Structures are given as C-alpha cells and as structure tokens.
Amino acid sequence: MMQVVNPQTGESDPAEIRRVFDAQLATALAWRESTAAERIARLKKLRDAMMARREDFYAAFQKDYRKPSAEVEATEFMPVLDEIRHAIGSLKKWMKPTKVWPTIASALTSSWIEYQPRGRALIVAPWNFPLNLCFGPMVSALAAGNTVILKPSEMTPAVSAVMAEIIAATFPENEVALFEGSLPTSQALLDLPFDHIFFTGSPAVGKVVMAAAAKHLTSVTLELGGKSPVIVDETANLRLTAEALMWGKFTNCGQICVAPDHVYVHESVKDKLVAECKAVLAERYGVTAQEQRNSPHLARVINQRHTQRIAGLLQDAQGRGARVLTGGEVDVAACYIAPTLIEQVPQEAQIMSEEIFGPVLPVITYRDLDAVVREINAQPKPLALYVFSTDKARTRRLLARTSSGGVAINHCVLHYAQGNLPFGGVNNSGIGNAHGHFGFKAFSHERAVLKSGPILMAKLFFPPYTDFKQKLIRATVDILRLPKLF
C-alpha cells in the first residue's frame, strides 16, 4: 500500500505512521523465528524490484540533481547490490550461533551468542545518495530479521517517489513501509519507540536523533560526517594521487560524507600536485570553464540553498585572502559550482571549520608534519583520513597518532565499498558500523546464552560461606591474577 502524503503540507499523517508502526509489531515478533531462506527471499524480491526500475532511477536522478547515469550505477546501484549479494551468500553463517569458551568462573557450562533481530527499525536517509543510503541499510535490517520503516529525504523527491513505489509493490506495510515528508514527518517517526534507529546525516541532526532515541532507550547507528583531511607527503606518486583525489572529491559534486575536505601537501611537491590535479580535471570535465559547465559527467549541487551556502564559503575564504587555483565559477540558479581548488586559506575562514560538502577543495602547504597532526587532532574526529605516501613507517606513525572513522592509504573514498570492512565514524563522525557482517550485527541483538552442565560447580560459591568456601573463593581469585593459560 502506498503511503499517502498530504498535498498541502507534503507531510505524512502522524496517525497513519502510528498505525503502520503498530502493525509491524506482530510481524517483528514473528520474525524472531524467521529462517535464512525466508530472509534471503525478501532480499531477492528487493533486488529484482530495484533492477526492474533501473531506467526510472536514471531519469529520477537526472531530474533531482543531474546525476550522470554512470554515477547512478557506480554509487547507488552497485553498493546496494553488493550488500544484497554479500548478505545472500553469508546469511546462514552470520545467523549461526557462535560458541564461546568457558571461563574459570563458568567451568562445566557451555555458552554461545545468538543473533536476535532487534525488532522494528527506523532508517532515516539523506539526500546525497538517496537510493544507496536508504536501501543499503534496509538490506542489513532485513537480513537481520527486522521490520523496517524508511524515511528518505524530501530534497530528492523524484528518487524518493520511485523508492516509495518499489516498497509499496514489494512488501506489505506490516513488513516494510516508506513515509515521505520533511521535519514534521521525521519528528513523528522519532517520537515512536523503535527498537533501533539507523540515521545517516550531519552531526548536528545526529544529536537530535540521539536525543529522541534516548527518550525510549532506543539503540542507534549514526553515520555522520566531518571534515575528512588528506595528507600528501613528498614521497607520494603525484599522478595517482591527483587521479584518486579528483575522483573522490568531485564525484557526486563533492556531496559525499567521506569526500576529501582539505589537502595538506608538502611544500616541495605542492605545485606539481596542483598541476596534476588541473590536468586530471581537464581530461575528465573539459579544458575551458564552458566545457566543464556543459559536461554531462558532473552532477549538480542538490539545490539553490546549498549552492548559496558553498558559494558563501568560497566568497568568505577569498575575502580573507584565499586564492583560486582553478574553477571558482558559480551559478546559483543552475545549482552549479565549477570544480574548484583554492590555496592560501587562513584558518579563521569559515571553510576551514564547516564541512564543505561540495566541489571546493582547499590546498594547504605544510613543512612540518607534526604541525599537521596537531591541527587534525585539534578538530572533531573525522569520518575518514587519507594518506598519500610511499613511506610505510611514516604512514604507520600517522595512523597511530590520529583518529578517524576509517582510513585509505594512497586512495580515497574506496574503503566505503569494501564490504568486509566496518564503515562508521568515531564520536562526532558517528556511532556504530554498517556494511556486510557489521551491518547485520548493527540490526541484531547479540544475545548471551549459558547452559549449565549436569554438575553445578557454582554451588561451591553459594552460601553459607564456610571456611572451606571462603578459602576456595579466595584461591580462585588468586588464580585469576595469573596469565591466561589458553
């Protein structure tokens, strides 16, 4: 059943949201006993329905923000299909109880961990990858045996409409439902006592989601963002660095939570790196400003408001002395900002404290790597850190001295697509992990089970505490001070 949106307000009816939420309770309870085969069947239905609307998604992404069809395939379809493939191939293993060794205190018992569905899950998705970041977490939720309510972004209405049609045609509403709307719809959903909330978005909104979840002691996975720094030292392969950086920064018009935010480059190779970056941009998008503007390979900023925000960051930086190395053209009405590199950006510029989330890349020259590390550590922990270097010892030191959700060495962004790695932030950039087995566990309760053997060894520790028991307990504690034997 398609969920109806009020045409005057653009919001879903809170009463309808509550009705569907209540309807999913019986399903969530029944799905605690769901088999791997049943869960896999749901994933296959989702996969087939999604693939059947491939061309419709091309048109929807083009309408929402002129996203090239190749990027729709690579950054929207590919991650979701990989999640489905991974889950289908691994679900039986993931669901299997994990046996654990007994400890001294639990001698002569057996123990294991069971993976139980959390129950009713809410997934709140952003606009930058509206299909990937909505359906991707849903794959993990369904694999783990949960019911799902989806809330996509109102900023990509064409894509959201196609997703809503797919969900309505593929699942009964007591299994999976999708509600469209903006802040009022989100608030109506967050008021409900879900068993788990998976949110992708900004740290500021993540705090709101976490506060709402706290009212019901609902567990959360928060995939947030931050200013992901890049370090390019004097040993880096500059051509490969430029190719990776220009891809990671300007794909999806820079609207990627793990996009390179700013680059620290050693002074001895800065000019050559900039030259290589300019060459890559010319090869991919055109030599002249007009060619780049007309390039079918560049997406647009999501809307005029965000275009004005990014343009304001650029103008503020220029007003404080920053210099444009390439790009800089802005057309707010067309939601267009050229691929832009800037240098000589003072620390007090707004662009150095606010996540850019657009096609502007500050290039910062450094001489002392220790100073760079201090600057990174003085900021909130980012979602990603990128190191371009062929010095293995230096790279290891950088990883040891910094903290971030993830790291890529001599590449950027691609770690997101490695489904065997946990994807997530740390503190300000996120809580919890997603993808593959880590996504399955995010939507699962790891339930501890202990089974006693025929001899109840623990009776030796039960009252009354005779002298013998007192000595036995004391001796056991003393044994625990020794190194682990196995």
Hey, what are 59's tokens?
């048109």
Hey, what are 248's tokens?
């990671």
CA 264 – CA 186 distance, rounded (Å): 38
Assess whether pLDDT exceeds 60 at residue 139. yes
Could you give the percent of the chain with pLDDT greater than 90? 93
Q: Does the active-site annotation cover 257?
A: yes
Assess whether pLDDT exceeds 90 at residue 447. yes
Are the CB atoms for 21 and 120 separated by under 8 Å? yes
pLDDT (tens digit per residue) in 449-476 = 999 999 898 898 999 999 999 999 999 8
Please tell me which residue in 253, 257, 277, 412 is annotated as part of the active site: 257
Please tell me which residue in 83, 175, 180, 223 is annotated as part of the active site: 223
User: How large is the average pLDDT for residues 392-419?
Assistant: 97
pLDDT (tens digit per residue) in 16-55 = 999 999 999 999 999 999 999 999 999 999 999 999 999 9
* SS3 category, 295: coil
pLDDT for residue 360: 98
Q: Name the β-bridge partners of 223.
A: 200, 430
Q: Which residues 6+ apart lie within 8 Å of 70 measured at CB?
A: 297
pLDDT for residue 486: 55
pLDDT for residue 481: 84
- Residue 1 — pLDDT band, cuts 50, 70, 90? low
CA 384 – CA 219 distance, rounded (Å): 24
Could you give the percent of the chain with pLDDT greater than 70? 99
SS3 content of the chain, % helix, strand, coil (to 5): 45, 20, 35
Q: Does the active-site annotation cover 283?
A: no
For tokens 């039960």, the residue is 462
Query: What are the backbone angles phi and psi of residue 265, rounded to the nearest 5°?
Result: -125, 140
| Nearest C-alpha neighbor of 151 from the set 121, 172, 171, 175 | 121
| Nearest C-alpha neighbor of 118 from the set 151, 86, 147 | 147
* SS3 category, 112: strand
CA 365 – CA 401 distance, rounded (Å): 20
Q: Which residues 6+ apart lie within 8 Å of 10 measured at CB?
A: 154, 180, 181, 182
- Residue 6 — pLDDT band, cuts 50, 70, 90? confident
pLDDT for residue 105: 86
pLDDT for residue 146: 98
Are the CB atoms for 25 and 120 separated by under 8 Å? yes
Instruction: Kindly report the pTM of this predicted structure.
Output: 0.95
pLDDT for residue 485: 60
Query: What amino acid occupies position 157?
Result: P
